[in-house]
Every structure is written in C-alpha cells, then in structure tokens.
Amino acid sequence: MTAQISSVVVLAAGQGKRMKSDLPKVLHAVCGRPMLLHVLEAARAVRSERTVVVLGHGYEQVLSHLPAGCVVALQRQQLGTGHAVLAAAEEIPPGSMMVIPGDTPLVTGEALSELAKEHERSGAVATVLTMQLEDPSGYGRVIRGEDGSVLRIVEHRDADADELTVSEVNSGMYVLPAGLTVEILNEVGCDNDQREIYLTDVIAGLRDRGKHVAAWKVADASLVLGVNSPEELAEAERIMSGRCAGDRETDGCQR
C-alpha cells in the first residue's frame, strides 16, 4: 500500500445529464477508452487493500467494463457524493480511504500517489486535493484557516459573496478516515440548494471534532478536471492526446 491507504473508493454512479447521451457518463471514451478505466488505472498506483466502485445509473452497462478485483456498491438513488459513500459503507474497510470521482480521466497514478504521501507527511486525519483556477465557477471553495489548514468546503451554490472570491477549489479527491466519515455522513442532513448529502460536509464535521484537515494543491489543474459535458470531454481528449504524443516523442529520444 502507498502511505497506508486501506481503500480507494471511486464514485461512478452519476447519470451525467449534461452529456446529452443515454450512455452512463463514466463510459464515455477518452482516447478510445472509457474514462472510468483511466481513473481505475491511475488508482492502481495507490496499491490499496481494496478498490470499491460505486455504481448507479446504467450500472448494468458499467459492470462489464470493470477489471477483475473491483468491489461494487450500488447507489440506487443518486442523492449526492456523501450518499454515494454511505451506499458503499459496508464494503469499505477501516483505515484511510481515498475517494476519487469516476469522471476525472486525466488523473495520473503519480498524482494520486503524491496525494497519499502528502497526507502521510501532514499528519492530518484527512487531506483534500485542491487546485487553483482563474475561473472557479461551479466548484466548491476551499476555506482555509490562518494556519493553512482546511476549515470547510463550501459548494458554489451555497457560497456567500466573500467565499465566491476564493480561487482555490475542491477537486473532489480526498484521503478521509473511513469510520469517522461514515459516522459524520449519517449525522448530516441535506439542508442545501441541491437537497443532497455532500461529502464535503465531512470536512466541517471533522473540524467540529477537533481534527486537523490538510490540503495539497496540485500544480497542474488539468490532472483533476472533471468531465461533465461534451465540450469538457473534447477538452480531455485534446489534453490526453497531447500527453500521448509527448510520450511517443520521449520514447523515441530514449531509443
């Protein structure tokens, strides 16, 4: 295992209405491969005890694409990212878990390994992977304290005017304590604009319990960009194609 990560939980239940397709969002291809498989390939670098994939919309179609060894949890109603983790609670072993969205095909094993290492170095109970964006619209804002620790994450729809000026945003990737996370999610409600259970509420819940929450800001924001529309899918294709071309040139130089 890398930095004692007991499990990786991949959230792949969403319908992806903005994709304007009947195909489950995570099966849309980037460079000829379903984006969920790109995520699972990157997750292998963490070398956790267990990989849990949370499925929902169109799960029958997704099942056949999963590699051997994945444990499947079913989120029959899509009521938010926190609800997705609760749907998988029985499959998640004790210890630290890394949570990754299934619609982030550009993430690399190196980035996930570095997140695990940063979590171990920080000594925090949880670590949030963040990114800096010139236009943070739509993303949850990361609110830090004076000591640099994370106080809370505020979803864009629920942020006030001051919070909306923050350009450091949540990538949706975390290292979290499995047991405490489930405990907090069972306590929080859905009193928010979306009427959903947010996984981000775990951060404030941990702080309320006196726990330290750290953040690691990735240098290249493209590594953790999500795909929610045909336009974003095309952008992911462009970026990954560029990476592949660069790898081929590098290989040629090495020979």
How confident is the model at residue 194, as a pLDDT? 64
Per annotation, catalytic residue among 18, 76, 157, 209: 18
Sort strands 96-101 and 71-74 into parallel, antiparallel or unpaired.
Answer: unpaired
What would the pLDDT profile of 68-110 be if each residue is shown by its tens digit?
Answer: 999 999 999 889 999 999 999 999 999 999 999 999 999 999 9
CB atoms closer than 10 angstroms to residue 248: 10
The more confidently predicted of residues 227 and 188 is 227
Name the average pLDDT for the chain.
91
For residues 43-50, give the mean pLDDT: 95
How confident is the model at residue 248, as a pLDDT? 55
The b/e string for 132-162 (b: 16+ C-beta within 10 A; e otherwise) is eeeebeebbbbbeeeeeebebbbbbeebeee
For residues 139-144, give the mean pLDDT: 95
User: Where do runs of H (alpha helix) occur along 80-215?
Assistant: 81-87, 109-122, 178-187, 201-208
Whole-number Cα distances in Å, 85 to 80, 82, 90, 92, 170:
9, 5, 10, 9, 17
Whole-number Cα distances in Å, 134 to 1, 79, 103, 202:
35, 29, 21, 26
How confident is the model at residue 87, as a pLDDT? 96
Which contiguous run of DSSP H or E holds residue 235?
helix 230-254
pLDDT above 70 for 114: yes
Rg (CA), the chain: 17
For residues 176-187, give the mean pLDDT: 96
pLDDT above 60 for 219: yes
C-beta separation of 62 from 15 below 8 A: no
For residues 177-202, give the mean pLDDT: 86
Structure-block tokens of residue 183: 């405990």
For residues 133-147, give the mean pLDDT: 93
How confident is the model at residue 191, as a pLDDT? 60
What is the Cα 246 distance to its own chain's centre? 26
pLDDT above 80 for 245: no
% of residues, the chain, pLDDT over 90:
82
How confident is the model at residue 254, as a pLDDT? 35
What would the pLDDT profile of 120-133 be if each residue is shown by its tens digit?
Answer: 999 999 999 999 99
207 assigned to active site? no
Give the whole-angstrom CA distance, residue 196 versus residue 194: 5
Residue 247 banded pLDDT, cuts 50, 70, 90: low
Q: Which domains does the chain have, with CATH numbers?
A: 1-108 (3.90.550.10), 118-219 (3.90.550.10)
For residues 1-13, give the mean pLDDT: 85
Residue 195 banded pLDDT, cuts 50, 70, 90: confident
Sort strands 126-132 and 168-177 into parallel, antiparallel or unpaired.
Answer: antiparallel
